[in-house]
A and B are shown apart, each in its own frame.
Chain A
Amino acid sequence: MTLGEVFRFEVEYRLRQPSTWVYALVLFGIPFLMMHAINGSSQYLNAPVMVANASALLGGIAMLVTAGIFGDAAARDVQSRMHALFYTSPLREAHYLGGRFLGGLAVNAALLLGVPLGLFLASVMPYMAAGKFGPVQPAAYAQAYLLLLLPNLVVIGAFMFAAAALTRQSLATYPGGITLYLLGAIAGRLTNGVANQRLSALADPFGARAVALATRYWTPAESNARLIGWPDALLWNRALWLVVAAGAFALLVARFRFAHPNGAARRRGWRRRRLVDTAPERIVPIASMDVPDSGRSFTTAGRVRQTLAVAAHEWREIAATRAFLVILAGALVFAFAYGWDVGSEIFGTSTWPVTHLIAGTVLSGALAPVMALLIAILAGELVWRERDMGMGDIAAVAPVPNGVALLGRFLALAAMLVTLQAVLMGAGVLLQALLGYHRYELGVYVKLLFGIKLVDYLLLGALAMAVHVVVNQKYLGHLVVVLYFASTVASELIGLRHHLLVYGSDPGWVWSDLNGLAPFLAGFVWFKLYWAAWALLLAVVASLFWVRGREGGLRARLSLAGERLRGPARVAAATAITLIVTLGGFVFYNTNVLNDYSDPDDVAARAAECERRYKRFEDAPRPSLAAARMRVELYPAQRAAEILGTFRLVNRTTRAIDSLHVLPSPDVETRALRFDRAARLVVDDGVLHYRIYALDRPLAPGDSLSMSFQVVSRPRGFRNAGAPTEVTPNGAYIDRRWLPALGYRAGRELVDERARHEHGLPPRPLPPTAGDVEAREAGPGARGVELVDVETVIGTDARQIAITSGTLVREWREKGRRYFQYRTGAPVRYGGAIVSAEYAVREASWNGVRLRVFYHPSHDVNVGRMIRSMQASLAYYSRHFGPYQYRELSIVEFPRYAAFARAHPHMITFSEGSAFLTRVDSGDVDRPFFVVAHETAHQWWGGQVIPAEAAGAPLVSEMLAQYSSMMVFETAYGREMARRFYDYNLDEYLRGRSVYTNREVPLLDVTNQKYLYYFKGAVAMYTLRERLGADAVNGALRRFREKFAGPAAPPPTSRALYAELQAATPDSLRPLLSDLFEHVTLWNVRADSARADPIGGGAYRVTLFVDASKARADSIGNQTPVAMNDLVEVGVFAGPPRGGSPGETLYLRQHRIRAGKQTIVLTVPRLPTRAGIDPYRTLIERERDDNVAEIGGGTRRDARQDDP
């Protein structure tokens, strides 16, 4: 009864608040507009998965509304001093709290309906582009609301309400919410890893991980159509967290007492000393009524003192409080939760917590949203505290200019942010220490936390204060600031790409241990100066609208602001605008005049135009590169390079070549392009970078000519996004892309089908199939493979070492620079990679092959592993596949502006972000070892055997490298590790299928789908190895290499490889081979139940009920069931599961399994504990956790099974 009345009152009260309606507008408006803003999704925007994800995201933003509503519901009475009336009424605490909570919940739940409604209405707007939205599925919205938004609201609401009610502080909702978030984050950390994804899904308070788990392997076709449904993991998750929320609420009811907030409930004797008023009845005579009023000063110096005093005062009031300590503690826990396994990599390994990862990725990147929220809250408190405390009027009449009041507060905010950053820095060091990493680079912390992030935070702080002043409603202010922050993060999505348009933004930066921030500094500084000018303008606006007194109306505030725009305010505004224009102009000059600023759309339009105009020359005969002589001058300090090159070009075709198509790189300046025979420039397309030279005397077949050129790269000013990183003060990495190319490049074409359609291009033709290529003429160069003799002279800084493919012939110093001359012994595949930096070098050898690792001196942890891996790899490959073709092998590190590792002739370039800093503890997958083995394998696959340019080519290079490295890996680390590795690969493959643009094809036709040639390739080869044995597979590969290695051999296609594999496969396994390579095949096997009956002599008859099916999938994952008649392993086990095995093996044999339910009966010598089909999970299955069943006792049968 009373509960109902409290509830009704709360609802009515809430509905009368203007803020409620603003919230409603926001919660409807954001999703509605978001659907308009997002473009270029390959998935239908109203696909159930998209609706669920959007709801989860928006639900996160809606938590700010929840904080406003529940904070008010819980603490309003105390703040408006109404509590005494409630506390003394006969109302029970539980009813009071329950009514308030449910009232807030009801209103908030209704407001939250705006999210699905906004998403839905936007999707049915008639003007929306066709193809953006799929068929309407109302159930998708209902599920998103019922499974995500509503339960999340209850959970987060309970925590926020409890925190606010217990502390009687509406602002305590934020720590309450953060507590919940942290619980989730920590639980998530504790349960990370492939093995316990279910637990991890359960631990996420917001259900997002459970949705991700349920949909992780969905193919594009499924994602577009399939409803999330009611997955078990999600339902359990919801149930668990609702119980937790109920627990939090119960705790609140148990702890909450109707008692005066400062009363007996909180006994702090030392502070609660009773005050005795010592004032006499009469007061002192008038004579002593002498209050001095001299010594006041309103000079500039006085204003400065006042500003500092305001700052100090606000600091004491806000920062020197317990609440701020709680915030600090929260930020720390956050940092720890995120930082604990920072730098997670593939295969469950992670990077050492090096300083730039902790300071950059964790404390700057991951923490940025938290800091934004914090800044919003702190700015709100600074703006509101005086008024909240009831001192607004008294303070307002103090003769202090608005500027002093504002600047003082801003300084206080700055001091808080500095403190926060300092504490975070301490936390970072502590975190590193706890993780066992002891190279604390305080300088890096200072640069990143104070040099970069503090600037960002201060800019955001200035904005936040201005917003709070202008909006003049605290919770709305928080919402506006956070929304603003979110929109800057997503500014690219809404088409704001120029950083002159997004407040506080910059071209971006990447820390590298080799370079620090060097390449990015200039752009960063100028952009920030420009935004600082904006911040000044915001400050002026804030001072104009600074609330002083009781005028809350918009019109009154506007006219007051107009009145205040005089004197200093006018000067400041004029200064700010002048600075904005000047700095903005300078930035624009740099980004758009000195550098080429192009919208992605312009770039795409240019690519389209290039294709339209020049694709017809694709098949024009072109000469092949036969030799290159390069002279490369690197000027690291100026980040500049000059290349003088001469190419010898040979006509290896059967026709005469009368014109040369030369494509200079768009990234550099190419000049002095000359030929050693007369040629006329007939087309010079400077925009599309395409030149055609007509040769006066055609190049006859077998004839050659030479082309010389000069390439210059010199950074000019700074760019809108990023910075050129090819040559940096310490770490240059340039390759062939800078050099002029010969003939039309299909690689520069637009790939994205939607973009092609928009720009009026036909769908991209498929690359030639293996069959097409094989039908063509044979001979060197005919299948797109060039082998080149290279001689390179590189000049670089005196302290640096420059490396490229080839043997070092000579090294010398000249004019304070260091020169290296390299020459290849035999023609190689020419990638033009040149690397230069200040290196430490470690040397080793294997069978007379010189092994070296060139690395940044502090990146030495894994160098030993890398050398071991090179040795083990060279040993395994040369024994099983054939001899190694060079006398040396080097690994060379380059800065982490790119993250790959790449094989070149006897040189592997390795990003500092790839495996140099991977942490390998005992039991971990040794990723550095594996990656080096993979790249070393490329010396064979890709180096010796060079695939023809056709569909399936990556099978020959990447899949075989993956397989080879797996074998080395297994040899070094054992079967168990290899099996784990297989699991990771299968998981990656199945995830890769879910990306729309990844269009799945059978392995044999793979082109650019990484997830296929790496991960499915590894899975297929591992399965094959399991079934055929290593000798058979390796033998096939050796024969394959012998046939196709060497400059004289024809480059092979995937078919050629497949033929070798087929030859090694017995007839019984040919169907499997075909399933793996010729089709996209998915199996599904399940052990429904199993029972064991004793048959005497200690033996048991095991009856296993299984279900199996097999399907083929098309490119977007539509499945068609096919007949199954495959050999599949069936196993029976005893004892507890160990490692990757279900137990001690009693029986393991292949059975012929057809589609459908079936029963398998077999005999084992001992009492088994579990039995299953494909127990080691070697089939490609999406649900692999149901392959093994516990043995049921004697006669008991599982209810699910139906006995055939």
Chain B
Amino acid sequence: MHLAIRGVSKTYTNGVRALRDVTLDIPRGMYGLLGPNGAGKSTLMRTIATLQEPDTGSITLGDIDVVREKDRVRRTLGYLPQEFGVYPGASAERLLNHFAVLEGFTDRAERRRVVEALLRQTNLWDVRRERLGGYSGGMRQRFGIAVALLGGPSLIIVDEPTAGLDPAERVRFLNLLSEIGEQAVVILSTHIVEDVAELCSRMAIIDKGEIQLEAEPLAAIAALRGRVWRRFVAKAELPEVERSHRVICTRLQSGRTLVHVYAESLPGPDFEPAEPGLEDVYFSVMAGHQGARAVAAPLEVAS
């Protein structure tokens, strides 16, 4: 199974161009889609999930035309939207059972097995009889993934699943995802860089509706090695540094300002080499030092 997105564009009626000529190839495994808020991540995810129509372009999953053959895709699709609600009065078992019917498990015994397996998988078995209205955010998110996993999908789309989860929940959830990634195409959209760094074998960075970079996270980091430099600066110096260097990011550390800059060689005496992380990749792409926007310095990306 392999998801091919070719030249997908989408403009909303209010004139916002949410996607511009997006082309991606997504193989089996976890695939991270990184981008700031409003970059077009959710639009792309929904388009793949058959909830929106692209203006142009095609999407195929194996031999299925996602745009035209919605019913076929849906049989093999799991989708966890960015925001979703639950019927507060229903129990997890009850509601999952309902979705199991919708997913085609019309045989009662079969359905019971599936529901039990998924509830155990998502650690909701013990609370399966409780009202969903009483669930915590993490439990609700796990319930969502249980619904998405019904029917053994070969394409799973999870849209910003870790937002709002506490650290333990987040770890638990990501572990669950990575295990699913063994068997299917999993697209994980997020604006949290660590999620991608920890899980995804491949990733793309999207901004303003365009793919800025498509890469393997490790390769992208490796490609940046030796080009990221760091330095602590005083607040007053910052504008000067930003003017004379290609700043990737600045952040406060222990009350002082730490600056990462991008340079082919040591940019100045006060700088020291920094070990790049995925965050540096992300920010340098967003800042235009790298990726589609970095016309001046095209970067070799291992494929």
For the complex of A and B, 7 pairs with smallest distance between CB atoms: A390-B85, A293-B152, A549-B51, A295-B110, A279-B123, A296-B104, A398-B102
Q: How many Å from the CB of B142 to the closest CB on chain A?
A: 7
Contact yes or no, B152 A397, CB < 8 A = no
A400 sits at the interface (CB 8 A): yes
Of the listed stretches A282-290, A471-479, A723-731, name the one at the interface; the rest are far from the partner chain. Answer: A282-290
Nearest-CB distance from A407 to chain B (Å)? 13
Does any Cβ of B come within 8 Å of A302's Cβ? yes
Which of the residues B50, B53, B120, B127 comes within 8 Å of A397, measured between beta carbons? B50
B93-110 CB mask vs A (1 if < 8 Å, else 0) is 000001101111111001
Q: Note all chain B residues with C-beta closer than 8 A to A1154.
A: none
Cβ 8 A contact of A275, one of B68, B87, B127: B127
Q: Contact: A399 with B182, CB < 8 Å?
A: no
Q: Mark A271-302, 1 if CB is under 8 A from B, else 0.
A: 11101111111111010111111111110011
* B120 proximity list for chain A (CB < 8 A): 284
Whether B46 sits at the interface, judged by CB under 8 Å, is yes
Q: Mark B77-97, 1 if CB is under 8 A from A, else 0.
A: 101110111111110000000
Pairwise interchain contact A389-B127, C-beta atoms closer than 8 A = no
Q: Which B residues are in CB contact (< 8 Å) with A551?
A: 51-53
Interface residues of B in 52-69 (CB under 8 A from A): 52-53, 68
CB-based contact A277/B138 at 8 Å = yes
Q: How far is the CA of A678 from the CA of B123 in the complex (A)?
A: 106
Q: Which residues of A contact B147 (CB under 8 A)?
A: 394
Asked if A1166 is at the interface of the complex by the 8 Å CB criterion, the answer is: no
A692 lies within 8 A of chain B by Cβ: no
Q: How far is the CB of A612 from chain B (nearest CB, A)?
A: 63
Which residues of chain B come closer than 8 Å to A280, judged between CB atoms? 123, 172
Within 8 A of A (CB), among B164-184: 168, 171-172, 175-176, 179-180, 182-183
For B99, list chain A residues within 8 Å (CB). 394-395, 398
Chain A interface secondary structure, helix, strand, loop or mixed?
loop
Q: Is the CB of A548 within 8 A of B51?
A: yes
For the complex, is A550 an interface residue (Cβ under 8 Å from B)? Answer: yes
Q: Report the minimal beta-carbon distance from A264 to chain B, rounded to whole angstroms.
A: 14
Chain A positions 368 through 409: 1 when the CB is less than 8 Å from some CB of chain B, otherwise 0: 000000000000000000000111011111111100000000
**Complex contact B121–A390 (CB within 8 A):** no
B74 interface residue, CB < 8 Å from A?
A: yes
Hey, which chain B residues are within 8 Å of A397, CB to CB?
49-51, 74, 77, 79
Q: Which of A278, A291, A389 contacts B149 (CB 8 A)?
A: A291
From known contacts A301-B106, A305-B106, A398-B102, infer whether A281 and B171 are also in contact, taking CB-CB under 8 Å.
yes
- B129-156 at interface with A (beta carbon < 8 Å): 130-131, 133-136, 138-139, 142, 144, 147-149, 151-152
| With contact pairs A283-B179, A394-B84 given, residues A306 and B46 touching in the complex (Cβ less than 8 Å) | no
**10 A-B pairs (CB sep. < 8 Å):** A279-B123, A280-B172, A283-B172, A283-B179, A292-B113, A297-B106, A309-B98, A310-B102, A400-B102, A551-B53
Given contacts A313-B98, A397-B79, contact A289 B121 (CB under 8 A): yes
Tell me which residues across on chain A come within 8 A of B74, comparing CB atoms: 397-400
Give B49's nearest chain A residue, CB to CB.
A397
User: Is A553 in the interface zone, CB < 8 Å from B?
Assistant: yes
Chain A, residue nearest B104 (CB): A296
Assembled-state Cα–Cα distance A548/B73 (Å): 14
Q: Provide the bound-state CA to CA distance between A290 and B152, in Å.
A: 9
Q: Are the C-beta atoms of A291 and B152 separated by less than 8 Å?
A: yes
Q: Identify the A interface with B (CB < 8 A).
A: 262, 271-273, 275-284, 286, 288-298, 301-302, 305-306, 309-310, 313, 316-317, 321, 389-391, 393-401, 548-551, 553, 556, 559-560, 563
| Chain B minimum-CB-distance residue to A309 | B101
Is there an interface contact between B114 and A291, defined as CB atoms closer than 8 Å? yes
B50 CB contacts on chain A under 8 angstroms: 396-397, 549
Q: How far is the CB of A389 from chain B (nearest CB, A)?
A: 5
Q: How far is the CA of A400 from the CA of B98 in the complex (A)?
A: 12
Distance (Å) between the CB of A802 and the closest chain B CB? 63
In the assembly, what is the distance between CA of A284 and CA of B98, in Å?
Answer: 26
Write out the residue numbers on chain A whose beta carbons fall within 8 Å of the beta carbon of B168: 281
Q: How far is the CA of A1028 from the CA of B148 in the complex (A)?
A: 95
B194 interface residue per 8 A CB criterion: no
Nearest-CB residue, chain B, relative to A388: B85
8 Å CB interface, B15-58 against A: 46, 49-53
Q: Which residue of A lies closest to B81 (CB)?
A: A393
**Can you name 7 extra interface pairs (CB under 8 A) apart from A280-B172, A306-B106?**
A262-B88, A275-B130, A277-B138, A283-B175, A295-B110, A390-B83, A399-B75
CB distance from B131 to the nearest CB of A (A): 7
B71–A399 CB distance below 8 A: yes
Provide the bound-state CA to CA distance between A711 and B234, in Å. 115
Query: In the complex the two chains form, is A277's CB within 8 Å of B139's CB?
Result: yes
Contacts of A391 in B (CB 8 A): 84-87
**In the complex, A289 Cα to B118 Cα: how many Å?**
9
Residues of B within 8 A of A276 (CB): 127
Least Cβ–Cβ distance between A931 and chain B, in angstroms: 58
CB of B238 within 8 Å of the partner chain: no
Q: How many residues of B contact A (CB 8 A)?
A: 68
Closest to A301 in B: B106
Task: List chain B positions with a Cβ less than 8 A from chain A.
Answer: 13, 46, 49-53, 68, 71, 74-75, 77, 79-81, 83-90, 98-99, 101-107, 110-111, 113-114, 117-118, 120-121, 123-124, 126-127, 130-131, 133-136, 138-139, 142, 144, 147-149, 151-152, 168, 171-172, 175-176, 179-180, 182-183
Considering only CB atoms, which chain A residue lies closest to B74 in the complex?
A399
B97: nearest chain-A partner, CB-CB: A309
Q: Are A394 and B81 touching (Cβ within 8 A)?
A: yes
Are A275 and B139 touching (Cβ within 8 A)?
A: yes
Across the interface, do B176 and A399 meet the contact criterion of CB distance under 8 Å? no
- Given contacts A397-B79, A550-B52, A306 and B101 within 8 Å (CB-CB): yes
Chain B residue at minimum C-beta to C-beta distance from A560: B53
Which chain A residue lies CB-closest to B168? A281
User: Do residues B117 and A399 form an inter-chain contact, with CB atoms below 8 A?
Assistant: no
From residue B260, how far is it (CB to closest CB) to chain A in Å?
32
Give Cα A271–Cα B180 distance, bound, in whole angstroms: 34
Q: Could you tell me if A291 and B175 are in contact, using CB atoms closer than 8 angstroms?
A: no
Distance in angstroms from B141 CB to nearest chain A CB is 11
Query: A288 to nearest B CB, angstroms?
Result: 8
When the two chains form their complex, are residues A271 and B131 in contact, meaning their CB atoms are under 8 A apart? yes
Closest-CB distance, A920 to chain B (whole angstroms): 52
A621 smallest CB distance to B (angstroms): 82
Residue of A nearest to B13 (CB): A553
Q: How far is the CA of A280 from the CA of B172 in the complex (A)?
A: 8
From the candidates A279, A290, A393, name the one contacting B79 in the complex (CB within 8 A). A393
Docked-complex contact B126 and A278, CB < 8 angstroms: yes
**Residue numbers in A under 8 Å from B135 (CB-CB):** 275
Closest to A393 in B: B81
- B114 and A297 form a contact (CB under 8 A): no
C-alpha gap A1171/B280 in the complex (Å): 103
Are B110 and A294 in contact, with the CB atoms below 8 A? Answer: yes
B103 touches which of A272, A278, A399 (Cβ 8 Å): A399
The answer for the CA separation of A559 and B52 in the assembled complex, in Å, is 12
B66 to chain A, nearest CB (A): 11
Instruction: Please state if B87 and A389 are interface contacts (CB–CB under 8 Å).
Output: yes
- Whether A293 lies near B83 (C-beta < 8 A) is no
**Residue contact B102 to A305, C-beta cutoff 8 Å:** no
Whether A272 lies near B136 (C-beta < 8 A) is no
| CA of A305 to CA of B108, assembled, Å | 10
Counting chain B CB atoms within 10 Å of each CB, which of A301, A313, A563 scores highest? A313
Alpha-carbon separation in the docked complex, A395 to B127 (Å): 23
In the bound assembly, the distance between CA atoms of A262 and B89 in angstroms comes to 12
With A and B bound together, what is the CA distance between A391 and B121 in angstroms?
Answer: 22
Please measure, in the bound complex, the distance between the C-alpha atom of A284 and the C-alpha atom of B125, giving whole angstroms: 13
- Chain A residues near B88: list those with CB within 8 A: 262
Instruction: Tell which of B13, B80, B130, B182 touches A286, judged by Cβ atoms closer than 8 Å.
Output: B182
Are B134 and A275 in contact (CB-based, < 8 A)?
A: yes
Q: Once bound together, how far apart are the Cα atoms of A284 and B176, in whole Å?
A: 9
The answer to whether B127 touches A278, judged by C-beta atoms less than 8 angstroms apart, is yes
Q: Nearest chain A CB to B294's CB is how many angstroms away? A: 33
Chain A residues with CB under 8 A of B123: 277-280, 283
